């Protein structure tokens, strides 16, 4: 039997992988905001280590409090229409944290365009469209 790090729990026992979502190794800068009601309790910067449709694991500057709501923001590594940068916003809850990083269960997410000269210049000028 091959020992796989992904199959290990914190106790060191080897268990069968229980995740049902496929995880992707995406290394991107991520900014996070810990939320306390309508107030921002803490902010920081880290790097995503892996991500799935159900959760994200990322490095953190400090241990984060489990159970707290968090907002993550990261630049998406693929351009929309090969020219427009996008940002992925993730809203979720910290489910686990240690000195190396934190795991967040994704409750919802959205892509936002960041705009670019190339993307904006693809549209004809207003005067040309009115003729």
Q: Identify the pLDDT of residue 105.
A: 97
Q: Give yes or no for residue 71 having a pLDDT over 70.
A: yes
Per the domain annotation, does 15 fall within a domain?
A: no
7 falls in which pLDDT band (50, 70, 90)? very low
Is the pLDDT confidence value at 57 over 80? yes
pTM: 0.72
Q: Residue 59 pLDDT > 70, yes or no?
A: yes
| Residue 2: inside a domain | no
In a domain, 79, yes or no: yes
Residue 21 DSSP symbol: S
More confident residue, 120 or 104: 104
CATH number at residue 108: 2.40.10.220
In the chain, the number of structural domains is 1
């Amino acid at each position: 039997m091959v020992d796989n790090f992904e199959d290990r729990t914190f106790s060191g026992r080897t268990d069968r992988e229980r995740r049902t979502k496929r995880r992707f190794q995406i290394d991107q800068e991520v900014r996070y905001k810990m939320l306390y009601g309508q107030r921002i309790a803490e902010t920081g910067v880290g790097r995503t280590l892996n991500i799935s449709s159900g959760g994200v694991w990322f490095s953190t500057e400090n241990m984060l409090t489990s159970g707290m709501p968090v907002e993550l923001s990261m630049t998406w590594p693929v351009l929309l229409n090969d020219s427009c940068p996008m940002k992925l916003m993730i809203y979720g809850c910290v489910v686990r944290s240690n000195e190396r990083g934190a795991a967040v269960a994704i409750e919802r997410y959205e892509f936002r365009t960041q705009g670019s000269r190339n993307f904006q210049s693809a549209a004809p000028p207003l005067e040309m469209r009115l003729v």
